[in-house]
Structure 1
């Protein structure tokens, strides 16, 4: 499969584009979530990325999780879809995007965490009360929403 966004950038340059993608909140048996420490910024985020031509959002989510952290997702449940001004992102290379991101939940996965060092420094599970403060701003609201829903469920 080609790199759709890279091909698109050859035509539009660094101008803002709408980029569809998916990420996954992976939950372990201790109700901790997996965060991925990116190499392009000193930020933690969710494993995920851009959709390629012909992919479904679920296929994107599964592929990105496997590529970034080496885990294979079992069942995926749609958590929410995020878009709008809060999803604007400017990459270190100057490329600008407005993300439309489908976030999935997954608590059944297989494999061992293995970080692709071209995209990440680390990946590990965090208790909900100890989420790092240096979260990517585009996923901070997602994590906050997950924690709040989890808190309400446990009241």
Structure 2
């Protein structure tokens, strides 16, 4: 379901919005910004993903809709600079809708003359387009834009932009379950994080999940205001009572191939960051009811794909096995 469809059930209360921003620079390093139709302030082209869409496809679509431009070298930024999440990315739109933006940033280049051919669509989202030097930016719409431009500024040796005030994150609950009670089993975006944990023998920790009976890695879904890393830490501890000194982001997984339907019929479009845990401490204690069994598996001992909890986990494991052979 789209965010607008969810609003008919959820009202103005905070939702987690999987979104992408497109950072386009010209040959002098200036960044392309749009003056937004909703608040009259400036930001990079971008917006919410459509169901089943991956981040790069979303970035190309949003760039076309909001500028009429095609950027041939547009690509997702590497992690961690490419990631967006956290309580500071709260935004309240002029119509009262509240959101926590999570997702990715894409980056590309176009000549300054490309702006002569810009043709935004007729939705009213874009009032004006202009190139701006990174050290002379206009009033920006929200903290997602401020953070994105701070990434570019850091790479240019400039200080970060100050963030706008934001409210504390809501108390932890079960956001996805709350939505399910209202919308049933229809597809929902499920931003979250998974964690690769290995032991001293370089074996990977897998958990047999109570809801699917399949093997998975520690992980789960974000709560509103939670960053991807905070989600990874929380889920790791909840499911195993293990802690990690450091979590290294490896890869973002998003797209139609990561749609998953649970045995009871609920469908999710996974938007998941995979982390590698370093400096793991604690005593492995499976979460009662959630985890049926734990196991440590070497590279050549992993369960078959049919025993794993969907394409997301299969591809998580390919990242790990690829790293072992590198």
TM class by smaller structure = over 0.9
Q: Is the 8 A contact 1:69 1:123 kept in 2?
A: no
Q: Which residues in structure 2 correspond to 1:88-127 (within 5 Å)?
A: 88-127=259-298
- Change in 2 beyond 3 A, CA 1:7/1:79: same
When normalised by structure 2's length, the TM-score is 0.45
Does residue 132 (structure 1) correspond to residue 306 (structure 2)? The answer is no
- Which secondary structure does the structure 1 equivalent of 2:300 belong to? helix
Deviation at 1:124, TM superposition (A): 2.5
Deviation at 1:58, TM superposition (A): 0.6
Deviation at 1:13, TM superposition (A): 2.0
Q: Distance in 1 between matches of 2:215 and 2:223?
A: 23
The residue that corresponds to 2:316 in the other structure is 142
**Structure 2, unpaired ranges of 5+:** 1-171
The residue that corresponds to 1:76 in the other structure is 247
**Structure 1, unpaired ranges of 5+:** none
Number of corresponding residues: 152
When normalised by structure 1's length, the TM-score is 0.92
What value does the CA root-mean-square deviation take over the aligned residues? 1.2
If you compute each CA radius of gyration, which structure gives the higher value, 1 or 2?
2
- Which secondary structure does the structure 2 equivalent of 1:31 belong to? coil
Q: Larger relative contact order (C-alpha < 8 A, sep ≥ 6)?
A: 1
**Cα deviation digits, residues 120-147 of structure 1 (max 9, x gap):** 1112321111011212222101101220
The residue that corresponds to 2:227 in the other structure is 56
